[in-house]
Amino acid sequence: MFMLYTIPVNTFICNYLCCSFFTRSHPHLFVCPLLIFLEETTGTEQTPFTRLFSLLLGLFGVRERLNDNYTFVHPSSCVCSRVNVLYLVTMKATYVLLCVGLVVLPATICQSPAERDSYTECTDGYEWDVQTQLCRDVNECETIQQACQGEMKCFNHYGGYLCLPRSASVITAPEPSSQSEPSVPVESNEAFNPCPVGYRAQGDTCVDIDECELDMHDCQPSQECINTVGTYTCQCPDGYSKIGIECVDIDECRYRYCQHRCVNVPGSFSCECEPGFQLAGNNRSCVDVNECEMGAPCQQRCYNSYGTFLCRCDQGYDLGPDGYSCNDIDECSYSSFLCQFQCVNEPGRFSCACPEGYELVGTRLCQDVNECETGAHQCGEGQICVNIHGGHQCVNSNRCQDPYIQVSENRCICPAVKPECRDLPFSIVHRYMSITSERSVPSDIFQIQATSVYPGAYNSFRIRSGDENEEFYIRQINNISSMLVLARAVTGPKEYVLDLEMVSVNPLMNYQTSSVLRLSIYVGPHAF
């Protein structure tokens, strides 16, 4: 069982309360349903009304934004219409004003027609005009000091104000010349729809109209129409924001979603990493790339570091200018004292070499090879192997010349019975020695020692022959010994044969004799 009722429309409330509130709070909303509930009254059977319900619909201005151009429509342009609604008489109610079911306003605004003329309160953004007996807009840009901060500029509009960039262009629709209440359309009973906008009558109930399915919407081709109870919404694709009726790409890069670099693309974004990093599994963070495990171009050794890598070379190499290759260090060019004889550069290192007749001792020194001891000589029968610096000499074992006769391997004597021996040294002893080149001087090189000592005898020593360039001299130590001294530096290979003579004089016995030490000196080719 239901009943049909009507009440007068309060256009003042529609225009200045519902419309002005939603133009400030919901910039793109354009339908404002107004529900008025009256408290139940006690009556008799003659009381015709036990419940009263009316739905007021107000169509009001739309604020649009396109390319930073703003248009504000005066709220008095709203059109309120009276409709009749089927209402089940089972609900208790009070004075309540609902705007789209989102905001509940005080019940005091729901004045009865008798109280209408005494209403002087306005919603936020408006003030009561005594002359026109209407609510007029407050210019907050003038009444509020520093309403907008920084680079923003204050723009007043009906029921409020906006802070917009100074470069924004604002077009304000002119205020209508007449504040008179718009006419209320009257519909015939045949065309009358008792349901709110967005609904249709179906039997004794109102059912939602699917504007999306019936193509009764104004969504853009790029937008998705989503049906809701009593209306519909136009939804932009992911990555887009709706401004006015258009879908504008959201610059996600402004929100620093990426750890390194952000690249905005229509409807989305992508993250990129600096060289040396790669995207993590979340496609936003960047993790270090281990270039050493991914075939870094290092020639020898690779060390990974955060965001990059370093190339290092083995000992004996220098890193090239390209930072990857390794070049051999020529250690031999750094110093001439690395090796005793010759420095040989090798990849990553160096080695020392010795001349023929020498062998390497340790890593840098050269030592003479004694071929006579090792058997590495070519001396034949009747020859003696004499080792010298850097080689050896093969000399005849019998070097005695007439009138001398050999009495041992290296000693020759001239017998006194031979007349020709009277003016010759009694004996000749053969000795061999070797010295290095560039030896520091003066240098003691050989000591001469008398083998026999007679009482009262006096011994003297001299160089009998072989020292034509005066490169040696004798320094007598005592009566029985003397020292052969190298006076000048000599350079080999070279051979000297010196006859070192010892003359013995015995005045008591009126006796004089001499003996010769024939010293063969071999100067090696090197200073070691």
Domains 252-288 and 399-523 share a fold: no
- In 258-298, DSSP assigns E strands to 261-265, 268-272, 277-279, 286-288
In angstroms, what CA-CA distances link 359 with 77, 352, 365, 374? Answer: 116, 10, 8, 13
What number does CATH give the domain 291-328?
2.10.25.10
Residue 87: CA atoms inside 13 Å, Cβ hemisphere, count?
23
For the cut 60, the answer to whether the pLDDT of residue 172 exceeds it is no
In this structure, CATH architecture of domain 331-368:
Ribbon (2.10)
Q: Where are the domains of the chain?
A: 3-183+193-199, 252-288, 291-328, 331-368, 399-523
Q: How much is the average pLDDT of 10-27?
A: 41
pLDDT digits over 134-159, tens only? 788 899 998 998 889 888 888 887 77
In this prediction, residue 121 carries a pLDDT of: 73
Rounded CA-CA distance 135/182 in Å is 16
Question: On the CB side of 335, how many CA atoms lie within 13 Å of its CA?
Answer: 6
Number of Cβ within a 10 Å radius of residue 126: 21
In whole angstroms, give the CA distance from residue 154 to residue 360: 96
3-class SS string, 185-215: CCCCCCCCCCCCCCEEEECCEEEECCCCCCC
CATH number for region 399-523: 2.60.40.60
Lowest mean pLDDT among 108-122, 398-412, 470-484: 108-122
Per mean pLDDT, which of 64-68, 96-100, 140-144, 311-315 is the most reliable? 311-315
Query: What are the tens digits of pLDDT across the range 288-345?
Result: 999 999 888 999 999 999 999 999 999 999 999 999 999 999 999 999 999 999 999 9
Instruction: Give the start-end residues of each E strand in 280-375.
Output: 286-288, 301-305, 308-312, 317-319, 326-328, 342-346, 349-353, 358-361, 365-368
pLDDT of the residue at 119: 53
Q: What average pLDDT does the structure give for the chain?
A: 77
Residues 178-224 pLDDT 10s: 443 333 344 444 445 678 888 988 888 899 999 999 999 999 999 99
Superfamily of domain 252-288: Laminin (2.10.25.10)
Give the model's pLDDT for residue 169.
Answer: 57
The bridge status of strand 405-408 relative to strand 224-228 is unpaired
